[in-house]
Amino acid sequence: MPFDEKTMKLSREIVAKARADAARESESREEKLAASIAATETTSAAFACGVANGRHGGERGEVTIGPRFPADLAAGVALQGVAALVGGGTNPEPHTAALATGALAACAYRYGERLGRSVREAAEARQRPPSPAPALPSPHPVGETFTVIELPPPPRGRR
């Protein structure tokens, strides 16, 4: 193959295509890695909220701020705000946003599970036949016998 201008042009095109392919492959790997890290952070945050609620949540299984505001909901909303501020608004900071998503997911799961349980219990109560009224005690003791006497019909014509 002669080494002329046509060959040089073809060589440059092949090299340019190879560089573009390598750049696309590198971006694809970085995107996949970022998605894996975000999934791990989200899952870890939800897990941590579940552990905290289970350990310190009391009889309702829920850590609260004040009497009734869920702590994981507060943390998720606050972290979403921080992610938006740090990331510049349109593109939230990904790691903080992933942690916020995990906290919000933990809260959403807990309330969804409670709702599902109450709906199931209501449906089961509707399907259950009504319990019979308790039997009234007999005025006569068990085992007592009675004699039935037939009376003759009343005479006719008398009032």
Q: Which residue has the higher pLDDT, 157 or 18?
A: 18
- The overall average pLDDT reported for the chain is 86
Band (75; pLDDT cuts 50, 70, 90): very high
* Amino acid making up residue 95: H
Residue with tokens 């870890």: 44
Q: Look at residue 148 and tell me whether its pLDDT is greater than 80.
A: no
Is residue 141 very low, low, confident or very high in pLDDT (cuts 50, 70, 90)?
low
Q: Is the dihedral of CA 51, 52, 53, 59 positive or negative?
A: positive
Query: Does the pLDDT of residue 62 top 70, yes or no?
Result: yes
Residue 133 has pLDDT above 80, yes or no: no
Q: What is the pLDDT of residue 7?
A: 81
Beta strands in 90-134 (DSSP E): none
The pLDDT assigned to 82 comes to 93
Residue 44 has pLDDT above 80, yes or no: yes
Q: Contact at 8 Å (CB) between 26 and 84?
A: no
- What would the mean pLDDT of 33-56 be, rounded to a whole number? 94
Amino acid at 153: P
Nearest-10 crossing angle of helices 94-127, 71-87: 150
Residue 64, C-beta contacts closer than 8 angstroms, at least 6 positions apart: 70, 71
Residue 45 — pLDDT band, cuts 50, 70, 90? very high
- Rounded to whole angstroms, the Cα distance separating 139 from 106 reads 60
